[in-house]
Structure 1
Amino acid sequence: MEIKDIKSVYFIGAGGIGMSAIARYFINCGLVVAGYDKTPSELTRRLEKEGMLIHYKEDVNEIPFACKQKDSCLVIYTPAIPDNHAELTYFRENAFEIQKRAQVLGTLTRHMKGLCVAGTHGKTTTSTMCAHIMHQSHLDCNAFLGGISKNYGTNYILSQSDYVVIEADEFDRSFHWLSPWMTVITSTDPDHLDIYGTKEAYLDSFRHYSELILPGGALIIHRNLEMKENIQDGVKRYDYSLNEGDFHAENIRIENGTITFDFISPIENIKNIELGQPIPINIENGIAAMAMAQLAGCNADELRYGMKTFGGVDRRFDFKIKSDKLVFLSDYAHHPKEIYQSAKSIRELYKDRHITAIFQPHLYTRTRDFYLDFADALSQLDEVILTDIYPAREEPIEGVSSQLIYDNLKPGVKKQLINKDQVLDLVKERSFDVLIVLGAGDLDNMVPQMAKILNEK
C-alpha cells in the first residue's frame, strides 16, 4: 500500500512511546487514527485529546468502521503485542496491510534524509538533542523520538524539512528496516538477550545495521565499541568520545550548576558550548548530537544555541525537586551500563550528599542475565531500595527476583527490599537527601505522588 492510498491507520499497542510518535504523524496528515492499548496512561489521554480514537478492551467490535476497510487502512503493531491478540488475528485473517512501527519509519527514511541514533543506551537523549538543534536551525527537521522532549512537550516534530531524526531501536531487530543517511551508534553493550540469544548475535545485528547507511552519508560511532562495522563505499566514518576521537570535548568546566566545554571537530571547533541540561553524561551525548547536526549543515551559532536551550527528556535524569535540602529525580535507566552512568553522574553532581535510589528491575531475563552488573552499578550509591521486577512482556522465571541484585550489593551499601505498593508509605515515613527513582517499568507512575509527598514535608 502506498502512503497516498492510506485513509485510516489502526495501532495495536497505541500507547507505546514510539507508536505514539507515528500516530501523531498520521493525525497531522488528517487521517482517521485509532487503536487499542491495554491500559490508559497520560500519553493515551493526550493522544485522545489530539483526535485519536483509543479503546482498552481487546475486542474486534471496538474497531472503528473506517479501520475495517482493508484497501485503505494501514495496521501498525508493536512487537510487544502477543501473536494471538484477537485484533491482530482479525486483521491477519482478513488480509489487511500490517506493518511493524519500524517498517513505517523505514519508509519515511527512504523518502527523507534519515538522521538516526542507535545504541543500547543514550539514544533517546542524543536523538532528542539532535532534533532540537536541527529544528531551531535553518535546516529544520521532522522527528520520531523515544521520549517526550521537554522543549516541545511531545515525541514528534512535523515540518516541511527533508530531514527526519529517528531513534533507531535494536529491540526485535527493528532498526534493520531503516535506511539511514547518517547514524550515530552510542553503545553496543549486550541487551535483549531474550531476543538475540548471544552477545555475538547482538553485535552482529549492529554490524548489519551499519551496512544500511546510504552512500553519501556517514557513520558516527563511539570509540572502542566491540562491534565491527561494515559500511558501504561512499559512507564516511567518524568516531567520538568524551575526550578523544574525531569529535570530542576539551576544556570541560563543571561549576556552580553549569557545564561548559569546547567542541573539537574535523569540520570546525566551537568554544564554550553550554549544556542546557547540565548533567555530566550529556557532554558525550551532546558531542554525538552536535557531530550529526554539524555534518548535516548546522553552523556554529545554531549548535551553540541548540545545546544551551535543550531542556531534556521526560524520565531522563528528570529533576522534580531541586533544593539545598532535597533533590528528587527520576531516570529511565534500566540496563546496567545506563544505571552505572546515571549513578556516576549523580555522584559527580552531589559529591558529599547521601544518595538513595529506588530501583524497579525491568524484565526477568534482563535481571537473570545481568544481576551482578546491576549490583555493581548500584553500589556506587549510598543506599538502594529494590522493588519487585516489572515483567512487561514476560512470564516469571523460577529463581529470578530482585533478591539476586540485593544479595550482591557491595558491603557498606545500605539496602532494602520492598514491594512496589509499599513505596509511597516508605517515602512518607523516611527523610532523604538526594533521591532518584530508576527503571523503565511502571514505578514512574508514582513519581508525581512521591513529589507531592516530599514537597508537603
Structure 2
Amino acid sequence: MNIDNIRQVYLIGIGGIGMSALARYFRHLGCLVGGYDKTETALTKQLVSEGISVTYTDDFTSVDDSFQIADEHTLIIYTPAVPAELHILDQFQQLGHTLFKRSQVLGLISQNRFTIAVAGTHGKTTTSTLVAHILTDSGYGCSAFLGGISTNYASNVLFSNSEVVVVEADEYDRSFLTLYPDIAVVTSADADHLDIYGDKSQLHESFALFLNQLHTDGTSVVKEGLPFNGNIRYAAGIPADVYADRIHIKNGEFFFDYVWQGGKLTDVHLGVPGKHNVENAVAAIAVAQQLKIPEAKIVKALSSFSGVKRRFEYIVKTDRAIYIDDYAHHPEELRAFLSAVRQLYPKRKLTVVFQPHLYSRTRDFVDGFAEVLANVDTLLLMNIYPARELPIKGVDSKMLLERINVADKHIATPDQVKEYVRQHRPELLVTVGAGDIDLLVEPLKVILEDV
C-alpha cells in the first residue's frame, strides 16, 4: 500500500476518536472520504459538516460506488471494535479489498517521518496532546493523531508541513506494534484489556515489544517504577532522571518545578489541574528537550495548554456549582481524577455519576472500583456500557454497587441522574466514564446553569 496513491478512503467505525482523526487527515489531503458507524454522535455530525459522508445503516447499498472499486487508489480502514459479522465489512472483503486496521494505517503514515509515539494504559491522550501543543505553540511544528479532542485546537488531528508526527500509541489489540518510533513514551502499564491479554504479564510483554521497536538511535521516556528499560525515567514528586518537585496549588492552578540533571525550571504553570497531569507534563517536557525546543517556549506552551475534551473538563464553574466531566474508566484513572478534584475542592460535598465501561473490565477490577468510589459523598452508578461486549452472567452495576462502602449510593438511569441534579443541585458534581455518559453533559449543564 502506497499511501501517496490514495484517492478514496472509507472508514468502518468512522465515529471512533482514532478513526475520525484518520478521516480528517485524508480529507485534508483532498481525498474523497466516507464511512459507517452504528449511531450518530456530535463527532459524526461534525465530520459531515466538514464534507465527509457518514451512513448509520449496515447496508452496502448505502456505500457510494466510488469506494467499491478495489484498486490502488482506494483504502478501506476498519476498527477492531466493530463486529466481525458486519455486512459492510463482509461486502468489502468479497469485492477483493484488502482491509487495513487503523493502527496499520498510522504505521504507513508515520513510517518515513520522525515519529513520537506515546503509549500507556492511561495518560497517553493528555501526554500526546501536551507534546503536540508544545511543538505547535513553539513553532517547531508537527502533525498529530490524538485520542481525544484537543481543546486548544478543537480537533483530534493537527496538520503541518513538518516531518515530525505525534501519535497516540494504543495498546488495545496490540495496535501500537505497527509503529517504529524515534521517541517512545510509556506513561503507565496497569492491568487493562485483560479480555485481549489474559493477564498483566502479557500486557507488559507487549509494552516491552513496543519499546524494542524504537529506532536504533531513538530515545525512550518511561515513567519511573515501570518494569521496562528507558533512556529517560520521569516522575512527579519523587526523584528520577527528570521529575516534578514542589507541586503546589496557587489560586486554584497547579505549579511545579521541573528538575533534570542539567538544571531546573521553577514555578512552571500547568494549564490543567491534577498531579497526574503534572506527571504527564514532565514526560512532555522531556520530549521537547530532546528536540532542543527552548525552555521559555516550553514553559509558555504548558501555561496555555487547555487540555483535552472529557479530561478534567470544566462544564460549569461558578460560586454556586462546579461541574467537571472526565473520561476515566479504569480504577487508577478514577483515583487520579478524584484525587485532583478533592485537592482543588476539599470542603465541597462530592457527587459522582459513574458509568462503568465493559462487563469484563468491571469484573476484572471490581475491587479497585469499589475502593476508589468509596471516597465519594454521593454516588449515582449507571448501568455498564457494553461497547463491543455481550453481557457476562452476574456482572452488572448492582454487583458493583453492593461492594462500594458509601451510605448515599444509587443505581440511576440517565433520566434519574438529571432528576437528581435538578432536585439536589450538587455543589460539586462530576460525570465520569468512557461510554455514552457524555450525552448527559449538556443536559446537566443546562440544569445547573438554570437559576
TM-score by length of 2: 0.97
Per-residue displacement from partner, 1:1-43 (whole Å, max 9, x unpaired)? 2112211000000110000111111001001001101111111
The separation in 2 between residues aligned to 1:197 and 1:6, in whole angstroms, is: 37
Q: Secondary structure at the match of 1:264?
A: strand
Whether contact under 8 Å (1:183, 1:292) holds in the other structure is no
Match of 1:2 in 2: 2
CA contact (8 A) 2:70 2:97 kept: yes
Q: CA deviation at 1:381?
A: 1.7
Cα distance in 2 for partners of 1:270, 1:413 equals 45
Q: For residues 258-309 of structure 1, give each alpha carbon's deviation from its aligned partner in whole angstroms, at most 9, with x where no partner exists.
A: 2222111245532221111233321111111111121122110110111010
Match of 1:385 in 2: 380
Tell me which amino acid in the other structure corresponds to 1:449: P
The alpha-carbon deviation at position 81 of structure 1 amounts to 0.9
- Residue 121 (structure 2) aligns with: 120
- Structure 1: where are the runs of 5+ without partners? 230-235
Q: 2:176 matched to 1:199?
A: no
Aligned partner of 1:436: which letter? V
Q: 1:185·1:221 contact (CA, 8 Å) conserved in 2?
A: yes
* Counterparts of 1:45 and 1:180, CA distance in 2: 33
Structure 2 unmatched ranges of 5 or more = none
Partner SS state of residue 111, structure 2: helix
Secondary structure of the equivalent of 1:269?
strand
Secondary structure, counterpart of 1:241 in structure 2: strand
Match of 2:314 among 280, 304, 319: 319
The alpha-carbon distance between structure 1 residues 55 and 344, as it changes in their structure 2 partners (threshold 3 A), is same
The reply to whether residue 53 of structure 1 matches residue 61 of structure 2 is no
Distance 2:372 2:37 in 1: 34
- Indicate which of 279, 284, 291 corresponds to 2:286: 291
Q: Secondary structure at the match of 1:367?
A: helix
Quick check: 260-269 or 93-102, which moved more?
A: 260-269
Matched, 1:335 2:336: no
1:55-454 alignment, distance < 5 Å:
55-71=55-71, 72-225=73-226, 227-229=227-229, 237-243=231-237, 244-266=239-261, 268-410=263-405, 412-454=406-448
| Counterpart contact for 1:276–1:311, Cα < 8 Å | yes
Deviation at 1:253, TM superposition (A): 2.6
Distance 1:91 1:266 in 2: 55
Q: Deviation string for 1:214-257 (max 9, x for gaps)?
A: 111111111112x334xxxxxx7110110221111123231211
Structure 1 counterpart SS, 2:215? coil
Distance in 2 separating the partners of 1:444 and 1:416: 19
How many Å separate the matches in 2 of 1:241 and 1:448?
36
Give the superposition deviation at 1:111.
1.5
Contact 1:109/1:178, CA 8 A, preserved across alignment: yes
For the residue of structure 1 that corresponds to 2:146, the secondary structure is strand
Task: Output the CA distance in 2 between the equivalents of 1:352 and 1:105.
Answer: 46
Kindly report structure 1 stretches of 4+ aligned residues shifted beyond 6 Å. none
Q: Which amino acid aligns with 1:400?
A: V
Shift of 1:413: 4.5
Secondary structure at the aligned position of 1:58 is classed as: coil
Q: Deviations for 1:301-357, whole angstroms, at most 9, x for unmatched residues? A: 110111010011100001011122210011000000000111111111111111110
Report the residue type matching 2:448 in the other structure: L
Tell me the equivalent position of 2:29: 29
For the aligned residue pairs, the C-alpha RMSD in angstroms reads 1.3
Q: Hey, what does 1:232 align to over in structure 2?
A: none
Give me the whole-angstrom Cα distance separating, in 2, the residues matched to 1:157 and 1:67: 25
**TM-score with structure 1 setting the length:** 0.96
CA distance in 1, matches of 2:115, 2:378: 42
Choose 124-133 or 422-431, whichever is displaced more: 422-431
Conservation of the 8 A alpha-carbon contact between 2:380 and 2:417? no
Whole-Å separation in 2 of the counterparts to 1:312 and 1:261: 17
* Counterpart amino acid of residue 339 in structure 2: K
> C-alpha displacement at 1:367, in angstroms?
0.4
Contact 2:221–2:283, Cα closer than 8 Å, also in 1: yes
Distance 1:251 1:418 in 2: 41
CA offsets 1:383-419 (integer angstroms, 9 cap, x no match)? 2110110010111111001122211212x54211122
CA distance in 2, matches of 1:268, 1:138: 24
Q: Distance in 1 between matches of 2:262 and 2:398?
A: 50
Does 65-74 or 401-410 show the bigger shift? 401-410
CA distance in structure 2 between the aligned counterparts of 1:258 and 1:335, rounded to whole angstroms: 25
Q: Distance in 2 between matches of 1:5 and 1:342?
A: 44
Question: Given that residues 388 and 420 in structure 1 are in contact (C-alpha distance below 8 angstroms), is that contact kept between their aligned partners in structure 2?
Answer: no
Whether the aligned pair in 2 keeps the contact of 1:76 and 1:101 (CA below 8 Å) is yes
Q: Would you say the 8 A contact 1:325–1:433 is kept in 2?
A: yes
Task: State the 1:213 CA deviation.
Answer: 0.9
SS of match in other structure, 2:236: coil
Q: Deviations over 1:65-92 (max 9, x none)?
A: 2111211210000000111111111111
Q: 1:267 to 1:132 in 2, by over 3 A?
A: farther
Q: How far does the alpha carbon of each residue in 1:74-116 deviate from its partner, in whole angstroms, 9 at most, with x for none?
A: 0000000111111111111222131100001111221211111
SS of 1:4 mapped into structure 2: helix
Query: How many residues align structurally?
Result: 449
* Cα distance in structure 1, aligned partners of 2:414 and 2:200: 31
SS class of match (2:47): helix
Identical aligned residues as a percent: 41
